[in-house]
């Protein structure tokens, strides 16, 4: 390159960037000067175009951005190298004019550019409506543009956008299989078309490229209602937020776009979520992971209010996270945490526990049923179901056999749940040798069951079916220990009058003999033999009431009862 050529290019470059411009036409000298650096064919094509524009810069600019513009129209022998050179030169001209668009002579430049751009996607009439709406609103109605673009699609594509996408407020989705059948195509081809149209939609939204700050309240719960009313659209909130996040350079899309906007293959849509947030904040924090975490937490069963700590982010990022949780699930912030409301009813065992804890003291089964009926008047309070529910809750314990129930952590005084036998086991286990004086055991049990007696406690233990306990003697003092433990040296075992098992025939014969001699039923008393017969008769009558006795035993029971002079038989329970 000669020194003269270098000097000429340097001069034109200087003029290109520093020429004093008072009117748009003043750019003519700058543009034509820069054109001298083009190749021979490039210059011929440019000057032909420039002369057809009457050497008017504004007309030149409008022509360059026209949809159907082609350099080949102005020169018939342009190669690829020259064409690329001219394209680059035209881009430089548009950039130059954009830098001076506020000066006189190019007042309608922005509007004309938008018209040219929009005419590539929608009709002239729709373009005029969009620009008129922009002048009325004071900002560009991007949702209205997308609506016009979709509705201007061909019949097949519009049908897919209408029914294969979850983007509409009135939700007219269809199963893909139904769409395929309606169009006479196989299912896989239907899925391919739907996915191709989604890609086409994404590309279109990215070409809009709005640099201005977003005028929409993109984190507002009522965003879809406001936009649809103002811009005469019918989109759902997810899609509107997706439009904004894809079109505005200052915003970024978060969430699972495809799950949210595409109809599932078997019909319907996933409960997915899309939002637009400031790009500057999204670049520094992982909001997609945050959304995934709250989606997982929301799927968990909750019968009470729970709290989720916010991420250790900046305050602005935390505010965005709270807004997303509010949009997604309606969660609110409470003292730096997300408050998660219940999403399920409590089961019966937990409800029984709540009733007891709210009362603050043990309740009878009837009191529990009455309280349950008050809280849930629309549900049946069946006693058998209530009892079974309390048995399934390990924190609810009965107070002996009294029909009164308590809570396991109420472990003091008469409110403590448990049976006489459970208290005895507890006291024995505290002793290393598991051999404790009977008197001490009774004193321990009486702390929790003050209404019982020493005699009742011992009788209760001796009548246990499993024979877990035994009484041993040493130096005139009675001790209690487990039957499974060996008897230490020096101790003697107390002979339990109930230890020998008798058959039904032996018991019924002894019972018959007792009634014949005494004319009454046996009762629990100091006489162990009479007590044993009383318990046998009580168990026999209980089995009869439950229908568990064979016919021959029923007849035996009726025979001995006929000999009883008393009107009723009572067994004292302890």
DSSP code per residue over 78-125: --HHHHHHHHHHHHHHHHHHHHTTTSTT-TTHHHHHHHHHHTTTS-HH
Same domain, 191 and 278: yes
Kindly tell me the sign of the dihedral angle through the C-alpha atoms of 317, 318, 320, 321: positive
Residue 91 has pLDDT above 90, yes or no: no
pLDDT over 70 for what percent of the chain? 87
pLDDT recorded at residue 312: 92
Overall domain count for the chain? 5
CB of 317 within 8 A of CB of 311?
yes
Q: Indicate whether 569 belongs to any domain.
A: no
The Cα angle at residue 314 between residues 309 and 316, in degrees rounded to 5: 100
Q: What is the CATH number of the domain that holds 401?
A: 1.10.10
Could you tell me if residue 121 is inside a domain? no
Q: 3-state class of 433 per DSSP? A: coil
Q: Are residues 406 and 363 part of one domain?
A: yes
Phi, psi of 418 (to 5 degrees): 135, 175
C-alpha angle with apex 175: 173 to 181, nearest 5 degrees?
120
Question: What residues form DSSP beta bridges with 479?
Answer: 437, 472
Shared-domain flag, residues 376 and 447 = no
The reply to whether 445 and 411 lie within a common domain is no
Q: Is residue 149 part of a domain?
A: no
Q: Work out the number of other CB atoms within 10 angstroms of the CB of residue 151.
A: 12
Per-residue confidence (pLDDT) for residue 533, from 0 to 100: 87
Q: Which two tokens stand for residue 117?
A: 């751009």
Q: Same domain, yes or no, for 229 and 272?
A: yes
For residue 216, count CB atoms less than 10 angstroms from its CB and return exposed for 0-12, middle for 13-18, buried for 19 or more.
Answer: buried
Q: Which of 225-234, 259-268, 274-283 has the lowest mean pLDDT?
A: 259-268
396, 447: one domain: no
pLDDT in tens, 503-526: 888 888 888 888 888 878 888 887
Q: Is residue 340 part of a domain?
A: no
Split at pLDDT 50, 70, 90, the class of 280 is very high
**Do 477 and 515 belong to one domain?**
no
User: Is the pLDDT at 568 greater than 70, yes or no?
Assistant: no
Q: Which of 116, 134, 150 is the last residue of a domain?
A: 116
Split at pLDDT 50, 70, 90, the class of 14 is very low
- In this prediction, residue 109 has a pLDDT band, given cuts at 50, 70 and 90, of low
Task: Identify whether 566 is part of a domain.
Answer: no
Q: Which domain holds residue 532?
A: 504-561
Please state, rounded to an integer, the average pLDDT across all residues of the chain.
Answer: 82
Residue 531 lies in a domain: yes
Alpha-carbon gap, residue 367 to 386, rounded angstroms: 11
Residue 471 lies in a domain: yes
Picking from 116, 141, 162, the residue at the C-terminal end of a domain is 116
Comparing 31 with 274, the larger pLDDT belongs to 274
If we measure between CA atoms, which residue out of 377, 480, 372 comes closest to residue 421? Answer: 480
For residues 405 and 489, membership in a common domain is answered with: no
Instruction: Assess whether 394 and 444 both reside in one domain.
Output: no
What's the rounded mean pLDDT across residues 286-315? 90
Res 270: pLDDT = 57
Tell which of 283, 318, 338 closes a domain.
283
**Residue 271 structure tokens:** 């409960």
Based on the domain organization, do 56 and 85 belong to the same domain?
Answer: yes
Q: Could you tell me which residue, 376 or 15, shows the higher pLDDT?
A: 376
Q: 488 and 511 in one domain?
A: no
> What is the per-residue pLDDT for 377?
82
* Residue 515 to residue 511: CA distance in whole angstroms: 6
More confident residue, 482 or 451: 482
In a domain, 44, yes or no: yes
For the stretch 340-364, pLDDT in tens is 988 777 888 888 888 988 888 888 8
pLDDT exceeds 80 at position 68? no
**pLDDT(108) > 70:** no
Residues 272 and 225 in one domain: yes
Measured CA to CA, the distance from residue 379 to residue 495 in angstroms comes to 54
Name the band, by pLDDT with cuts 50, 70 and 90, for residue 567. Answer: very low
Span 442-466, mean pLDDT?
81
Q: What is the DSSP letter of 235?
A: B
């Amino acid at each position: 390159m000669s020194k003269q050529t270098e000097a000429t290019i340097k001069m034109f470059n200087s003029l290109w960037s520093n020429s004093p411009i008072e009117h748009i036409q003043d750019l003519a000298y700058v543009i034509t000067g820069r054109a001298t650096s083009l190749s021979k064919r490039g210059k011929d094509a440019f000057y032909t175009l420039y002369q057809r524009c009457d050497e008017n810069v504004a007309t030149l600019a409008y022509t360059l951005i026209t949809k159907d513009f082609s350099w080949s129209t102005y020169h018939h022998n342009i190669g690829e190298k020259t064409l690329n050179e001219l394209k680059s030169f035209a881009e430089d001209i548009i950039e130059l004019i954009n830098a001076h668009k506020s000066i006189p002579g190019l007042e309608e430049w922005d509007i004309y550019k938008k018209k040219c751009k929009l005419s590539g996607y929608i009709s002239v009439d729709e373009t005029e409506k969009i620009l008129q709406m922009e002048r009325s609103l004071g900002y560009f109605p991007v949702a209205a543009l997308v609506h016009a673009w979709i509705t201007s699609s061909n019949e097949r594509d519009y049908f897919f956008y209408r029914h294969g996408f979850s983007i509409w407020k009135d939700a007219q989705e269809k199963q893909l299989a139904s769409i395929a059948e309606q169009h006479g195509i196989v299912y896989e081809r239907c899925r391919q078309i739907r996915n191709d149209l989604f890609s086409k939609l994404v590309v279109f939204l990215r070409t809009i490229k709005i640099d201005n700050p977003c005028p929409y309240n993109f984190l507002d719960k009522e965003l879809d209602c406001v936009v649809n009313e103002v811009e005469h659209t019918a989109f759902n909130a997810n899609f509107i937020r997706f439009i904004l996040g894809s079109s505005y350079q200052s915003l970024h899309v978060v969430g699972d776009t495809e799950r949210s906007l595409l109809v599932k293959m078997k019909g319907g849509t996933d409960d997915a979520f899309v939002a637009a947030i400031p790009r500057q904040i999204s670049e520094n924090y992982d909001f997609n992971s945050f959304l995934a975490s709250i989606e997982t937490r929301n799927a968990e069963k909750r019968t009470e209010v729970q709290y989720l700590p916010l991420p250790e982010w900046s305050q602005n990022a935390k505010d965005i996270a709270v807004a997303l949780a509010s949009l997604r699930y309606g969660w609110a912030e409470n003292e730096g945490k997300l408050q998660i409301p219940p999403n399920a009813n409590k089961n019966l065992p937990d409800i029984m526990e709540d009733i007891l804890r709210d009362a603050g003291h043990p309740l009878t089964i009837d009191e529990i049923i009455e309280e349950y009926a008050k809280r849930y008047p629309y549900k049946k309070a069946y006693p058998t179901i209530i009892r079974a529910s309390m048995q399934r809750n390990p924190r609810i314990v009965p107070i002996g056999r009294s029909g009164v129930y308590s809570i396991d952590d109420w472990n003091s005084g008469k409110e403590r749940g448990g049976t006489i036998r459970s208290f005895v086991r507890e006291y024995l286990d505290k002793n290393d040798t598991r051999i404790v004086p009977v008197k001490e055991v009774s004193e321990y049990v009486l702390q929790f069951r003050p209404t019982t007696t020493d005699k009742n406690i011992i009788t209760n233990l001796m009548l246990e079916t499993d024979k877990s306990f035994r009484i041993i003697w040493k130096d005139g003092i009675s001790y209690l220990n487990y039957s499974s433990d060996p008897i230490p040296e020096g101790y003697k075992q107390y002979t339990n009058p109930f230890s020998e098992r008798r058959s039904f025939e032996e018991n019924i014969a002894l019972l018959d003999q007792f009634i014949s001699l005494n004319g009454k039923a046996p009762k629990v008393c100091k006489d162990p033999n009479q007590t044993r017969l009383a318990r046998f008769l009580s168990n026999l009558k209980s089995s009869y009431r439950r229908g568990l006795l064979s016919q021959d035993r029923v007849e035996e029971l009726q025979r001995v009862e006929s000999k009883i002079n008393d009107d009723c038989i009572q067994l004292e329970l302890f």
